[in-house]
Structure 1
Amino acid sequence: MTVPLATSYTGGSVHAYLLHGRVPTLIDAPPGGASFVAALQASLSAAGDGPLAQVIVTHAHHDHIGGSAALHAAFPAVVFRKRAPLPDAPPEWTAIDGEPMLTAGDAQLWALHTPGHAVDHTCLFDVHSGVLFGGDLAINGSTVSIPADSGGGLRQYLRSLRAVLELQPRLLLPAHGEPITQPASLLRGYLSHRMAREQQVLECLAAGLDTADRLVERLYAALAADLQGAARQTVLAHLLKLEEDGRIERTGESWHLRSA
């Protein structure tokens, strides 16, 4: 099920996945309003399911959680699950602790903690079929932003990519864009891209480009204006990782290579 979004960063839409069966489950709760709820009810009815029983949210960004209140109003008995931190606002949330197996539809999904894009990011892996519900871990045809100012972390993201690679998923179903039929190739490409970008950041710093804004101007000169903010967050995530690695240091808004 797909909900249009007023942004080009996500390809203009977000996918929510409905799993039919014993425990009718929706993965992610996009802000689709009454039309989305109606489509969901129609799909449940056509499949002969009972009412929606469970919503599992991959992370708390608005395009993934913004429809929770509308879903709760339509399905009062539904159980809402996500990894901590839990929202303060209704509906009531049940925390995903650790990396449990969750029944969803007729499947057993392994809830893997995959931080990086968000501190609470969770992927859901069907070990039997090899299908991974990837949230915002990966996007077909694009890279993923790392929002450093709101809990994103590049080191964590790289670790999450490697952890998912070890699972050898057959198919990755992302929250944005087309299904990823060769997950290993894409994820390895992500790792290579991030390492290359890190080297570019170091080269820019050596050339005297000492702020995140100046780095964005150099590294993302051709990027659309409405994507510049996301690019800046990812550049900042690179800078913070390099600072943690002891390779650079900062004074105010300026970043410099660390003296030997």
Structure 2
Amino acid sequence: MIIKTILAALVAGLIAGAFMTAAQELRVTPLILHAEEYEGEEPAAGQPITEQPATEQQHSHLKQQSAVDYVLAALSPITPAYAHAEGEHEEGGIMFGMSRFSGTLLANLVAGSGFGLLLAGVSLVIGYPITLRNGALWGACGWLAVHLLPALGLPPELPGFPAADLQDRQIWWVATILFSGAGLYLIVLRAEIVAKAAGLLLLIAPHLYGAPQPVDISSAVPAVLGAEFAVAALATTLAFWIVLGVLSGFINDRFLKSA
């Protein structure tokens, strides 16, 4: 039974990861490419930031991203599976010459499988199976815990945006996910008023403490572009989690119960 649950989670995660890649290519990746044009620029003091496209040579170089970077970014405990490495890479990447799209697809397949296993593991531990009826709820809770609630303190960031120390952000991000997951469990699955109150407290505790913030918030990237990216990134991850939850429930209903 456990083996079949794991296989079902992997299948659902791979499908959701492929879906995620298509969704990112439509909306998220173009915004990243646009923001990369501003890398290396300094905001002019006292002057509004205007768009200054990079040279053809710079644009060609910035389009090249290592598949390794994308895998590490997708697995990194920072809201940004969209984090950007500033290091230079040889054309075509450093992992079997994979393109940006291939690297993104690989990272999303790995991340999708991991999140699928995470949902399955949590459902087994708490004894609340994922079904087609509640799959969307499972997905929504996963999105809230892993993306939306941490994004209240550390929103998805574009290349060139200022950020606090990486280790500080990682610690806060992981702690927020753990607190959020426990809080959602108490609110959604426990009927006691005390449990729901404790769950609400767990949800807000990381934000009362506060996420680490950069000292200097100046950036050459227009703020409106960053806001557009944050919305697109969160919408994409929401679609991913809903697909993951519904697929996991469908596979469990169709194959596990009939076994």
Q: Above 0.5 in TM-score?
A: no
Per chain length, whose mean CA-contact separation is higher, i.e. which structure has more relative contact order (CA < 8 Å, sep 6+)?
Answer: 2
With the length of structure 2 as denominator, give the TM-score of the two structures: 0.26
With the length of structure 1 as denominator, give the TM-score of the two structures: 0.26
More strand by share: 1
More helix by share: 2
